[in-house]
């Protein structure tokens, strides 16, 4: 690929699975020879892990990392933000402006209006769940979905991480008016291993953002439901807007001695601290935590939501209905009574994920979508090899 092919990724918060996706995709595109840049919020995140990730991006992405204050909710400042992004994209002369998440996608499409006409820049949007998690019956949901419909004509291409997300978009927003492709998230080869266990490992671990959407309350109620019969211990890893609520809930349920809130830490570190990963989410797109747990050959209990069934594929892993405390409690009891079936499924799921979910395929397919479907920067790519688009 010509090094003159330029891509700018736009997202709000450099945290969680969305940032992991952008980080891996940007580095992969840079390795393919593209000039890549990142623009994101300057006030979100913090800590050594983020510093390392941003430093890696700065070192490898020719267009750099630009951080601008971005609010989580819509406001008057959004006008200034998208104009700054438009100015940046124009200065960098980008061929693709790729927005990630609801806010990043809105900024990219608003910023790209003039660029599409004057420079032929292609604007791509990956929802990553985002606004698709909102209920159309709620006022906020109706407002955000109406905005998505307004932004539709400003979108040159849509990428979904799962078939579920694509179907959800059609259901809530309407049929896309631009090319669409499903490109699943991927992992690096070195992430596939067999996780070791600490001597004092707990029975279960939750890793993720502490908010109701992730089902932490369901997990706590399920732990309380069987504590007199199978008193399992759990660790809750992460932070988020509902953290204080969940801690109060744990105290009220009498779980203080059996549930520890440890704060954020890498998933690989959390896996060492427990024997089984629990993903009790009410909604998901294609969650990295499920991919990472599968790659670490961790026994897992997960909800039947979003793209999780697409990750599991034909592996005979029972998935629980979202929000079903009794079903989750039953799976917790089953693991404590006999973990062997869970261990066997973990081995099978690891093999499946290693074959189907790779960073290499995610990067290659995304660049191919830019070029073959949208014609992005095609005039700059006379030497594009068959290997790049195969």
- Tokens 């994920």 appear where? 353
Query: How many structural domains is the chain composed of?
Result: 2
Bridge partners, residue 124, by sequence: 98, 157
Predicted confidence (pLDDT) at residue 52 exceeds the cutoff of 80: yes
Asked whether residue 307 is domain-assigned, the answer is yes
Predicted confidence (pLDDT) at residue 387 exceeds the cutoff of 50: no
Bridge partners, residue 279, by sequence: 302
Cα–Cα distance, 379 to 182 (Å, whole number): 26
Rounded average pLDDT over 204-233: 91
Same domain, 159 and 258: no
Rounded average pLDDT over 231-255: 95
* pLDDT band at 80; cut points 50, 70, 90: very high
pLDDT score recorded for residue 141: 87
Asked whether residue 1 is domain-assigned, the answer is no
Owning domain of residue 171: 6-186+358-389
Same domain, 292 and 314: yes
Question: Any idea which of 191-195, 249-253, 346-350, 376-380 has the lowest mean pLDDT?
Answer: 376-380
Asked whether residue 160 is domain-assigned, the answer is yes
Check which CATH number belongs to the domain holding 225 and give it: 3.40.50.2000
Asked whether residue 364 is domain-assigned, the answer is yes
Same domain, 72 and 218: no
Same domain, 298 and 362: no
Higher pLDDT, 49 or 277: 277
pLDDT score recorded for residue 1: 55
Rounded average pLDDT over 39-45: 90
Same domain, 195 and 248: yes
Same domain, 21 and 68: yes
pLDDT score recorded for residue 388: 46
Predicted confidence (pLDDT) at residue 36 exceeds the cutoff of 70: yes
pLDDT score recorded for residue 385: 43
H or E, element range at 25: helix 16-31
* pLDDT band at 381; cut points 50, 70, 90: low
pLDDT score recorded for residue 74: 85
pLDDT score recorded for residue 310: 97
> What's the angle, vertex CA 277, arms to CA 276 and CA 278, rounded to 5?
120
* pLDDT band at 68; cut points 50, 70, 90: very high
pLDDT score recorded for residue 73: 85
Sheet with 6-10, side-by-side order of all strands: 64-68, 35-41, 6-10, 96-100, 122-126, 157-160, 180-182
Same domain, 10 and 158: yes
SS3 for 97?
strand
pLDDT in tens, 211-222: 999 999 999 999
Asked whether residue 79 is domain-assigned, the answer is yes
Sheet with 259-263, side-by-side order of all strands: 259-263, 234-237, 202-207, 274-279, 300-302
* pLDDT band at 47; cut points 50, 70, 90: confident
Predicted confidence (pLDDT) at residue 315 exceeds the cutoff of 70: yes
Same domain, 125 and 226: no
Asked whether residue 319 is domain-assigned, the answer is yes
Rounded average pLDDT over 71-89: 93
Same domain, 208 and 349: yes
Higher pLDDT, 16 or 343: 343
Question: Any idea which of 32-41, 315-324, 376-385 has the lowest mean pLDDT?
Answer: 376-385
Asked whether residue 177 is domain-assigned, the answer is yes
Same domain, 53 and 109: yes
Cα–Cα distance, 50 to 64 (Å, whole number): 15
pLDDT in tens, 119-142: 899 999 999 988 888 888 888 889
Same domain, 206 and 323: yes
Predicted confidence (pLDDT) at residue 157 exceeds the cutoff of 90: yes
Asked whether residue 180 is domain-assigned, the answer is yes
pLDDT score recorded for residue 390: 42
Same domain, 170 and 232: no
Strand ranges (DSSP E) for 105-255? 122-126, 157-160, 180-182, 202-207, 234-237
């Amino acid at each position: 690929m010509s090094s003159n092919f330029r891509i700018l990724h736009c997202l709000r918060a450099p945290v969680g699975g969305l940032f992991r996706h952008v980080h891996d995709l940007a580095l992969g595109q840079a390795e393919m020879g593209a000039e890549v840049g990142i623009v994101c919020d300057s006030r979100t995140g913090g800590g050594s892990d983020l510093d390392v990730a941003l430093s890696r991006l700065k070192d490898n992405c020719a267009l750099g990392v630009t951080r601008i204050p971005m609010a989580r909710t819509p406001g008057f400042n959004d006008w200034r933000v998208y104009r700054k992004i438009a100015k940046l994209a124009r200065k960098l002369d980008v061929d693709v402006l790729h927005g990630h998440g609801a806010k990043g996608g809105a900024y990219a499409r608003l910023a790209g209006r003039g660029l599409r006409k004057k420079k032929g820049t292609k604007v791509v949007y990956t929802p990553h769940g985002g606004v698709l998690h909102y209920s159309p019956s709620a006022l906020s949901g109706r407002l955000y979905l109406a905005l998505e419909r307004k932004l539709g004509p400003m979108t040159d291409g849509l990428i979904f991480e799962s078939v579920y997300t694509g179907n959800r978009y059609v259901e809530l927003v309407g049929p896309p008016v631009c090319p669409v492709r499903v490109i699943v998230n991927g992992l690096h080869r070195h992430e596939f291993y067999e996780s070791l266990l600490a001597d004092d490992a707990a029975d279960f671990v939750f890793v993720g953002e502490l908010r109701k959407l992730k089902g932490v309350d369901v997990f706590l109620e399920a732990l309380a439901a069987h504590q007199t019969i199978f008193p399992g211990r759990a660790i809750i890893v992460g932070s988020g807007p509902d953290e204080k609520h969940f801690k109060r809930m744990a105290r009220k349920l009498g779980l203080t001695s059996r549930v520890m809130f440890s704060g954020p830490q890498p998933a690989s570190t959390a896996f060492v601290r427990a024997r089984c990963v629990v993903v009790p989410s009410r909604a998901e797109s294609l969650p990295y935590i499920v991919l990472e747990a599968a790659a670490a050959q961790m026994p897992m209990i997960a909800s039947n939501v979003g793209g999780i069934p697409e990750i599991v594929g034909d592996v005979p892993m029972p998935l629980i209905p979202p929000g079903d405390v009794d079903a989750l409690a039953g799976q917790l009891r089953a693991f404590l009574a006999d973990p062997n079936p869970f261990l066997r499924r973990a081995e099978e799921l690891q093999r499946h994920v290693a074959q189907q979910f790779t960073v290499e395929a995610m990067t290659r397919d995304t660049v191919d979508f830019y070029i073959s479907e949208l014609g992005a920067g095609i005039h700059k790519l006379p030497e594009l090899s068959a290997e790049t688009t195969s």
